[in-house]
Structure 1
Amino acid sequence: MNSSGTTATSELGLRLVVPDRTAVPLVARLDYTADDPYAIKVAFHVGEDEPVEWIFARELLTVGIVREVGEGDVRVWPAAGEGERIINISLSSPFGEAQFDAAISPLAEFLHRTYEIVPAGQEGDYVDLDAEIEQHLCM
C-alpha cells in the first residue's frame, strides 16, 4: 500500500464469483486522491488486456462493509467467508454482469487511509467548484 498526503493506492485480492464453477482469483488496484474526494477508482486486472476500470463512491464501499447498499449498476454487501468477513461487489453494465468477493480487512484499511487524507464530511472543502464549472462550460 502506498499513500502520500493527498493520495492512497492499494492492491486488493479479489475473487470473481463464477456460477457453478470455482471462483477465479484476480487483483484490483484501488486509487484515491483528494482531488476527487468522493470517489475511489478501481482497476480490475482480468487478464493481459487493459484493466477494467470502475469508479465507486467512497461512501458506498464504506457502508457496504456493514450492510447492503447500492442500486442498479453497483451493489455492495458484507458476508461471512471461511473464517473471515468478506465483502461482495456486484457490477452490471450493458456489456454484462460480474460479482466479486474480497476480504473486508484490506479494504477497510485502505478506506481508513482515505479518511485520514479527507475526513468524512469535509469532501466539499477539497473540491474547487469554480474550476469544475469552468471545465464543463468549456467543453
Structure 2
Amino acid sequence: MNSSSITATAEVGLRLVVPDRTAVPLVARLDYTASDPYAIKVAFHTGEEDPVEWIFARELLTVGIVRPAGEGDVQVWPGTGEDEGDRMINISLSSPFGQAHFDAPVSPLAEFLHKTYEIVPAGQEAEYVDLDSEIEQHLQS
C-alpha cells in the first residue's frame, strides 16, 4: 500500500454555536490513518496559533449523522440547517476546560467518512492494529 491509500484528510467548515450570539464560523481539519483505524483526529482552527485537537471514534461520527450518539465528553446528533433541506451534524464537546457546541453540513463529513471506510472497511479495524507494537510502546513508557 502506498501512503496516499492509507490516510485521508479533509477540511470542513463548521460553526461554533454560542448561546444568544451569532454562530462563529471555523474550519476543522480531519485526519484518518489506517494505523489508528478506530479514530479520527479533528483539529479545530480557532484563530489561535495552535489548533484545538480532539480524537473521536470514527463510528461515533458515522452514527451521529443519522441518530444521537455518544455519552460523556463527545456527543453527536443530526440536525437541520437554516434552510430545511440542509442536513447538519451537531457535535458537543466537554472537558474540564469548558464546553463547545459545533454544527457542520453533513455532506463534506460524509464524503470524508466514506474515504475512511475505503481505507479500512467497517468491521476490519482490528486487522490494522499491531497489538505487539502497542504493548511494546506501553511497556516502554
TM-score range, shorter chain: over 0.9
Cα offset, 1:20, TM superposition: 0.2
Structure 1: where are the runs of 5+ without partners? none
Does structure 1 residue 77 correspond to structure 2 residue 77?
Answer: yes
Q: SS of the residue aligned with 1:4?
A: helix
Equivalenced residue count is 137
What is residue 113 of structure 1 aligned with on the other side? 115
What is residue 35 of structure 2 aligned with on the other side? 35
Cα offset, 1:80, TM superposition: 1.4
CA distance in 1, matches of 2:91, 2:59: 14
Alignment of 1:96-111 (within 5 A): 96-111=98-113
1:45-93 deviation line (CA, Å, top 9, x unaligned): 0013200000000000000000001111000000111231000000000
Partner residue of 1:125 out of 124, 127, 138: 127
What is residue 64 of structure 1 aligned with on the other side? 64
CA distance in 2, matches of 1:9, 1:69: 23
Does structure 1 residue 94 correspond to structure 2 residue 96?
Answer: yes
Structure 2: where are the runs of 5+ without partners? none
TM-score normalised by structure 2 residue count: 0.95
CA distance in 2, matches of 1:94, 1:37: 27
CA RMSD, 1 decimal? 0.9
